[in-house]
Amino acid sequence: MTAPVPLATRMLAAFTQAARLKPTQIKVLYGDLRTGLIHGEIDATGASWAQVLNDAGAIDQVTVPGAEIARLDLWRMAPAAKTFLAVEIDDRIVEAGPIWSRTYDWETDTLVLGAAGLWSLWDHRMVLKVLAAALQVRTGADLGSVTLTGADLGEIARGLVALAMSHAGGSVPVVLPAARPGSARIETFPGYELPILGEQLRQLTQRQTAAPDIRFAPRRRSDDRRYIEWVMETGTAAAPQLSQAGADWIFDTTVRRGPLLGLSLDEDATEMGFRGWETGNGSEAGMLMATAYVGTQVDAGWPLLEVERASSSVQEGLTLDGHAAQLVARSARPVQKWTVTAHMSAALEVRAGDYAVVRTRGHACLGTGSHRVRVAGKSGDLTDKVKIAMYPMAAIV
C-alpha cells in the first residue's frame, strides 16, 4: 500500500495542474429562502461574490438582461428578502443568501440583483423570547430576557440561532451543530435592549482572544439536490477557529507559469493601538470599563497609541476584561491584508478561516521565504480567476 500524499503536496499539484484545466463552470441560482428550493439558474452577464470570515458574504452586481428577466418572469418570481441567490462553482456552492436589492434600468434593459450571505438575515432578527401573536408591549419589561447556558460561546451562538428559528415564520434550512450543554458560559440578553441577532453573533466572535469562529456554509442537500441548506459551524473552547483539517495550503509564487497570478500587499495602521479601552453598561462615572496594554511595540520605539471600543450590552467585569484583551491583541500591529490572485480551479477548496503558507522569491517587499497566513475571505466573479484575501499570522513591522 502506498503512503497517502500530504495535503500540502496535493494542493501544489492541483495548482500546477490547474493551469491546464478548462475554465470552471459557474452558475447563478435562485430559489425560495424559507424552504431552500432552487427555482432555477439565471443566465447573468455579470456577477461578483465573496466569502468573509465571521460575517455575511455577498453575491452582488448580478446583472440580468431583459430577455432573461422576461424568460424567468424574474421581477415577479424573485422578490427581495423572500428569494435567495447562490453562486455554484463546479457543483460547489461557494456563497448563498437572501436578495436585498433589485434595480431595473430602462435604458440598458437590465436588472441588477444584490444579495448577501445568510448571516445578513440575522441582522433582521431580534434576540427575544417566542412572542404571542396578540402580545401588547408597553414597556421593555414586557419582553423579559433570554438566558442561555452552554459549554462554550459556540454553544451560545447555536442557541441564539435555534431560538430565532423557533419564532413564527422564523425557520430557514439551517443545519445546527450538535448541542454542547454545560454551565461554563451563561449569557443573558435583556429584551428591552432589542438586541440584533447578527450583531450578537459578531460580538461572540470577538468576545475574547480565544473567541469562536462562526460560519453558515451553504450546500445542496445530499438527499434532494433540488434544495440548498446552510450548515452552521462554530468553534469550541478547545478549538475556537474553523479551518481545514490537515496541513496548510501552499501558495507558491515561485512556480513559473503556474496558476498563481499575483500577490499584492496592503497595510493600514489607523486602527493600531497598544492600550485598549473597552466600555460596557452604564453611563458617565458609573460606566463599566476595562483596559489592557501590550508594550512590545512601545519598547521597540513606537509612540503610545490607544484605541477604544464600546460594548454597551456587557454587564460583567470579567467579560469586559476579555473584550479589552482581545481588542489590544488585534490592534497591537498594523492591519495587513495580502491578496493572492489565482485560477479558480486551483483554489476551489480553500475557505475563509483556512491556514496557508505563501512562498516568495525576490519579492520587492517580502523578499525570499515562507510566510504563514490565514485566509480572511475569497472573492470572484463569472471568470475563472479568484482573489484570496489573507492576513499574516504576525504583521511584518
DSSP characters over 343-378 = EGGGSTT--TT-EEEEEEEEETTTEEEEEEEEEEEE
Going by DSSP bridges, is the β-strand pair 174-175/228-234 parallel, antiparallel, or unpaired? parallel
Closest residue by Cα to residue 229 from 40, 31, 397, 391: 31
What CATH fold (topology level) applies to the domain 22-118?
A: Phage tail proteins - horseshoe like beta roll fold (2.30.300)
Position with higher pLDDT, 38 vs 132: 38
pLDDT category of residue 19 using cuts at 50, 70 and 90: very low
Span of 35-44, 140-149, 171-180, 214-223 with lowest mean pLDDT: 140-149
User: Rounded distance, CA 199 to CA 176, Å?
Assistant: 19
Neighbours of 241 (CB within 10 A): 15
Span of 13-22, 41-50, 101-110 with lowest mean pLDDT: 13-22
* C-alpha grid cell, residue 348: 476551489
pLDDT category of residue 96 using cuts at 50, 70 and 90: very high
Please report the pLDDT score of residue 394 as a whole number: 63
For residue 209, is pLDDT > 80?
A: no
Give the total residue count for the chain: 397
pTM of the model: 0.86
What are the residue ranges spanned by the domains of the chain?
22-118, 140-234, 249-268+335-392, 275-331
Compute CA 69 distance to the chain's CA centroid, rounded to the nearest angstrom: 30
Condensed to tens digits (0 to 9), the pLDDT of residues 272-295 reads 889 999 888 887 788 889 999 988
3-state secondary structure of 125: coil
pLDDT (average), residues 96-119: 98
Please report the pLDDT score of residue 23 as a whole number: 62
> Where is 149: in which H helix or E strand?
strand 145-150
SS (H, E, C) 49-116: EEEECCCCCEEEEEEEEHHHHHHHCHHHHCCCCCEEEEEEECCEEEEEEEEEEEEEECCCCEEEEEEE
Please report the pLDDT score of residue 221 as a whole number: 98
Position with higher pLDDT, 243 vs 259: 243
Please report the pLDDT score of residue 154 as a whole number: 96
User: Rounded distance, CA 392 to CA 266, Å?
Assistant: 11
